[in-house]
Chains A and B, each alone.
Chain A
Amino acid sequence: MLDREQVETQEIPDVPERPLAIRTRELTKAFGGEIAVNKINMDVPTGAVFGFIGPSGSGKTTTVRLLMGLYEPDDGEISVLGARPSNFKRHDRERIGYLPQLFVLYPDLTVWENMNFTASLYGVSFWRTKLLNRLLDLVELREDKHKLVRNISGGMQRRLSLAATLVHDPDLLFLDEPTAGIDPILRKKFWDYFKELQVNGHTLFVTTQYVGEAAYCDFVGVMSEGQLLTVNTPEGLRREAYGGDIVKLGSTERIDYTLRQEVQNLPELKSRILNATDYELQLLVDDGATATPYLVEYFRDRRKSINSVESFFPSYDDVFVKLIEKHRNNENG
């Protein structure tokens, strides 16, 4: 668990100073003595895509529900768009969109009727046909708009839910696992649209179990067992997980033990071999950008022929596992 200071001093490169859409301090919620969310500190700047990643039961949905004002926190502070969620006024709610984890629209209504229903809930004017058609185009449901929802697939229902969430053009979107159960192509399309929303000034708070989706986010919060382990940029997460950049080096000649030791002990690189075969090395270095040309030079000087030196990006699944392990190791001392 990161403490307050650690989070507040998190280095977020290339992000200009913007007002916070979400701010939590020591946010805690327990159910029947079991802590679901434990002292979460989090700042989400306006206009960012914030990924909230963690396994099932890690406290993601509870956090979203606290941020939506569906739960009252047991302890800590929350501010969403400058207001306390449990005191949200109608105006605050009109600025927020919420996509719940489960489908909650009406199976006995058509796709179109469900869209209309949600639009009316948010007080969208009756002259909204164009808007609804555009949203249905986005989720590729326009052709199916006269179908009863009970007759469309689970993926289509998910897409409908997303379209319904966007119907009132909210400033801040809470999307609880929006891509769950959706095929990879449409998932990519969703994330493209999320990015488009971001470009248009919307703030997105997206929970997901797909760790790979962290790459689409500006910031990622990693949840485990009710605790927010870290908040970082996707790239920062990799570095945080492994302690530096990974460089992959391939050679046509055999890389013997002596050479491996030499490379590992280079004082300029402070590298560490993560993985090694006879013809390939994976090195953990402080900075991949400076290490790569240095390594090329080093091997040339020793007349060793190398055919590739490149930065290696481990999957976010690996990054996530590494972070959890690291956290557990820290806890166990």
Chain B
Amino acid sequence: MDRFSRFIVRSTTFLRKELATIFRQPRLILTLILGPFLIMLLFGFAFRAEGRSLRTLFVISDNSPFAQQVQEFAQTIGPAIVYEGIIPDRDQALSRLARNEVDMVIIVPDNPMDLIRNNEQATLEMYHNEIDPIQVDYVRQVGRLYVDSLNRKVLQSVTAENQEEAGTLQDKLEAAQSSATAYREALAARNAAAAASEKQNLNTDLVALRILAGASLGIAQGTNETFGGGTTTDPDQNANTLTDLDTLIQGLNSTPDPTTEAEMQQQEQDAAEIESSIAELNTSLSDFQNMDPNVITSPFTVKTESVTGIELELTDFFTPAVIVLLLQHLFVTFAAMSIVAERRAGTMELFKTSPISSSEILVGKTLSFFVFGLVIAAMITMLVVYVLGTPMLGRWENYIIAVVVLLLTSLAVGFFISLISENDTQAVQFSMLLLLASIFFSGFFLDLRLMWEPMKAFSYILPATYGIDIMHDVMLRGLPLPTTVIGGLALIGLIMFLADWFILRRLMQTR
């Protein structure tokens, strides 16, 4: 036989040996394939993406006028808060919280309106019994949601009251409009006495209108100023309605009675402008009256959509990462146990005295676990895609390339662990440490973008980091293979294989 044929014979000896050993353990294979699938299936059934409902107890003093409103409001706020009742005793409420009978206690101040009138914010005290930082954050968010909703509710109520009040201004507006018309007509008739009298009437009507319409016009004006063209009226005119009214009153009061023809003409023009301003004011108030208080207090809402065009379930999102983590862990462990087991059994001595080289051992062992890895990966993938329904938006050939590179790199890392381990226990420990590091640093469940920048370097020495990134792109986004990422993964594999070869070569040498 020539040299190459002997290389093939020597390398494939491991393929037959490892596969025979593995396939003689059907329970192992079943566990490796069905295990992850069942876990994902159960996870899909068990995990609910909806936020948790917090059983909430309110503490309000017996004589508080807000008890009923708090109850009504808490019952309508949504599923995040489950109303558990109102009690006056703060200590009793906190004690129930400590016993986990409720999830949250909200203590309402006795005199919130007094505080607000005194230009102070009324603070609601919220207590929880969580230790999980994610749950603590969730409780805070629910608290903020509650307070925001409460504030909005108050604003809506105030706005609605003002809209109602604006309706009562109609008579005053009509009176002012009539006085303005009479004033202009008296001036047009050059009847100074009548003009003076109508001016007096107009002034009286305007002052009364200003006093009564202040609040309503203030909100209407504020709305216009903030949102510009958000109402049906011209913003430039509406914005200054209230100010204009003040200016008109001031101007009317400071204008002397006309004595000359020129003054008559000037004041006639002024009177026409006053007429026009009152008409505009009427329009503004009508617009304000017709607006939905909810739109005024919450003028913006949000609608979120993904450009991927697909809505993913939580299980769908996690499945590619689970496949990656599982393949990495399985084949790192298989490889890690492989050479260390040969050393324990004494077969390394057999290799040392035989013509097989370190590269033939590495190629042979890699080949055998790789073939097994492909079988496992294919079975798991078929199950998650065709049974669990995990989306596969990309091209299958890209998926296969990703799995191949991931398997080879994982094996290279596993052999490295095997070669630096003294015994089986150490090899298992190293493999478990790698798994733990991969769970926390690969982006498996914590987004890498949340990580401190220098620590990302650590993430990128883990094959799983690359694998998850690639699988998300290929499976869930339908993108082509990210060449830089797949290149990085392959580079790690290559470096590890070279290190493996170097260490194994030294191990095979005479002591």
Contacts and interface: CB of A to CB of B under 8 A. Distances in A.
Instruction: Tell whether A pairs with B.
Output: yes
Interface in A77-93: 85-86, 90-91, 93
Contact of B13 (A68, A85, A90, A116): A116
B511 interface: yes
Contacts of A332: none
A123 B346 contact: no
Interface in A32-76: 68-72
A90 B508 CA distance: 13
Given A104-B345, A104-B350, A106-B347, A126 B9 contact: yes
B400 to A, nearest CB: 29
A124 interface: yes
B349 to A, nearest CB: 6
Interface in B1-29: 1, 5-6, 9-10, 12-13, 16-17, 20-21, 24
A108 interface: yes
A70 B511 contact: yes
A126 B13 CA distance: 10
A275 to B, nearest CB: 47
A85 B17 CA distance: 29
Contacts of B357: 90
A189 B6 CA distance: 33
B510 interface: yes
Contacts of B347: 104-106
A72 B510 contact: yes
A220 to B, nearest CB: 24
Given A71-B510, A104-B347, A121-B10, A109 B21 contact: yes
A186 interface: no
A113 B349 contact: no
B356 interface: yes
Interface stretch (A95-103, A129-137, A198-206, A226-234): A95-103
B307 to A, nearest CB: 53
Contacts of A140: none
Nearest to B351: A121
Nearest to B364: A120
A124 B326 CA distance: 38
Nearest to A110: B20
B21 A70 contact: no
Contacts of A126: 9
Contact of A96 (B345, B346, B351, B353): B353
B510 A121 contact: no
Nearest to A94: B355
B334 to A, nearest CB: 14
B10 A123 contact: yes
A85 B347 CA distance: 19
B354 interface: yes
Interface string B85-98: 00000000000000
Interface in A115-151: 116-118, 120-126
Q: Which of B5, B345, B355, B357 has the most CB of A within 10 A?
A: B355
Contact of B355 (A105, A109, A122): A122
A72 B510 CA distance: 6
B354 A93 contact: yes
A153 B189 CA distance: 135
Contacts of B16: 113, 116-117, 120
Given A69-B510, A86-B510, A100 B346 contact: yes
Given A70-B510, A105-B347, A106-B21, A120 B13 contact: yes
The B contact surface, by secondary structure, is helix
B20 A125 contact: no
A120 B10 contact: yes
B355 A93 contact: yes
A70 B17 contact: no
Given A120-B10, A121-B10, A122-B355, A104 B510 contact: no
Contact of B17 (A91, A93, A113, A122): A113
B353 A123 contact: no
A330 B6 CA distance: 54
A120 B350 CA distance: 12
Nearest to B350: A104
Contacts of B12: 120
B13 A117 contact: yes
B345 A117 contact: no
A96 B350 CA distance: 12
B352 interface: yes
B360 to A, nearest CB: 9
A77 B433 CA distance: 47
A108 B13 contact: no
B311 to A, nearest CB: 48
A71 B511 contact: yes
A123 B6 contact: yes
Contact of A85 (B9, B350, B351, B510): B510
A126 B5 CA distance: 10
Interface in A264-297: none
A169 to B, nearest CB: 13
B1 A125 contact: yes
Interface in B238-253: none
A69 B6 CA distance: 22
B17 A109 contact: yes
Interface string B235-271: 0000000000000000000000000000000000000
B85 to A, nearest CB: 66
Contacts of B24: 108
B388 to A, nearest CB: 34
Given A93-B354, A100-B349, A104-B347, A123 B1 contact: yes
Given A72-B511, A117-B13, A98 B353 contact: yes
A122 B510 contact: no
Contacts of A86: 509-510
B484 to A, nearest CB: 40
A85 to B, nearest CB: 7
B17 A106 contact: yes
8 contacts: A70-B511, A90-B357, A93-B354, A116-B13, A120-B10, A121-B10, A121-B356, A123-B355
Q: Would you list the 10 A-B pairs with minimal beta carbon distance, nearest first?
A: A120-B13, A123-B6, A104-B346, A86-B510, A90-B355, A93-B355, A98-B353, A121-B354, A72-B510, A94-B355
Given A123-B9, A125-B1, 6 more contacts: A69-B510, A86-B510, A90-B355, A120-B9, A120-B16, A123-B6
